[in-house]
């Protein structure tokens, strides 16, 4: 009888290999099959052994996507062969990563698993703009929300988000930026509320765009790649990006 190894759900961080945990690196180095998302950075993919089989199951908002049912089926099929399977997800697997759906597919076949958390994009984006996600005297909490739900633009606690000093990391918020702007201002948010748009977080082509709630849709329209919106945070002028830091150390 084939012995089934646990499937490892591994967080790859938002792009740069510098943000991998040691556990994630070890998992990649011993993997026989890696099932990965579109948003996993090329630096991370380069760490996968040449002997490992790669299966790209990328999803793109409003674009070509691998159906979730097909991803679940691939996970189960590969695990049942007895191979050491890594399910590599951008950011952290448990934050807007459909982790539970894939765990349920494994559980239906009694396949064991383990979760290796990764740095979520919000934490890295805030670091890239030189800000803390929380700050005494500014915000006593942090909201991590999505701009997009299965039924369309996602509704939130707009009154709470509109309060002065609130900080929120908004994932998948590019297409809903005008909707977000309207809902927040309708509930009392000031037009000059800072919003930072971080495009291609931590990658070589990362861009940090300072905006306000009033200018958010126009700023988002300047971006091409995936972006995170940091509501309530403005970039610090003295912050060095990861690529700038590498250049300074060279």
Residues 6+ apart with CB under 8 A from 50: none
- Report the phi/psi class of residue 24: left, alpha or beta, with left for phi > 0 and alpha for psi in -120 to 50: alpha
Q: Helices 68-80 and 99-107, interaxial angle, to 10°?
A: 40
- Per the annotation, the verdict on 37 as an active-site residue is yes
Domain 121-231 sits in CATH at 3.30.950.10
Catalytic residue among 18, 56, 59, 100: 59
- Per the annotation, the verdict on 174 as an active-site residue is no
CATH 3.40.1010.10 domain position(s) in the chain: 7-116
* Residue closest to 87 by CA, chosen among 105, 62, 61: 105
Task: State whether residue 44 is helix, strand or coil.
Answer: helix
Catalytic residue among 18, 37, 56, 159: 37
Q: What is the pLDDT of residue 121?
A: 97
Reported pTM: 0.90
How far is it, in rounded angstroms, from Cα 180 to Cα 16?
29
Q: What is the pLDDT of residue 250?
A: 62
Domain 7-116 sits in CATH at 3.40.1010.10
Name the residue with tokens 């991370």: 44
> What are the average pLDDT values for consecutive 10-residue runs of the chain, which has 250 residues?
90 96 97 95 96 88 78 97 97 96 98 98 96 93 93 93 96 96 97 97 95 98 96 83 63
């Amino acid at each position: 009888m084939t012995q089934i190894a646990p499937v490892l759900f591994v967080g790859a961080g938002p792009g740069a290999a510098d943000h991998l945990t040691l556990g994630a690196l070890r998992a990649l180095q011993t993997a026989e099959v890696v099932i990965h998302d579109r948003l996993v950075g090329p630096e991370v993919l380069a760490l996968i052994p040449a002997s490992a089989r790669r299966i790209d199951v990328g999803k793109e908002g409003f674009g070509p996507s691998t159906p979730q049912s097909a991803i679940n089926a691939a996970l189960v099929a590969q695990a049942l062969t007895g191979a050491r399977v890594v399910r590599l997800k951008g950011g952290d697997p448990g934050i807007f990563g459909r982790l539970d759906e894939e765990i349920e597919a494994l559980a239906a076949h009694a396949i064991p698993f383990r979760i290796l958390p990764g740095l979520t994009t919000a934490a890295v984006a805030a670091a890239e703009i030189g800000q803390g996600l929380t700050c005494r005297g500014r915000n006593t909490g942090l909201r991590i929300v999505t701009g997009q739900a299965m039924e369309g633009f996602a509704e939130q606690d707009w009154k709470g988000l509109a309060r002065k000093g609130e900080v929120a990391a908004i994932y998948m918020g590019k297409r809903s930026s005008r909707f977000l702007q309207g809902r927040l201002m309708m509930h009392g948010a000031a037009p000059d509320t800072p919003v930072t748009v971080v495009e291609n977080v931590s990658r070589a082509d990362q861009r940090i765009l300072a905006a306000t709630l009033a200018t958010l849709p126009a700023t988002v329209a300047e971006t091409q790649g995936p972006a995170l919106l940091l509501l309530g945070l403005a970039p610090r002028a003295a912050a060095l990006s990861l690529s700038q830091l590498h250049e300074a150390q060279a």
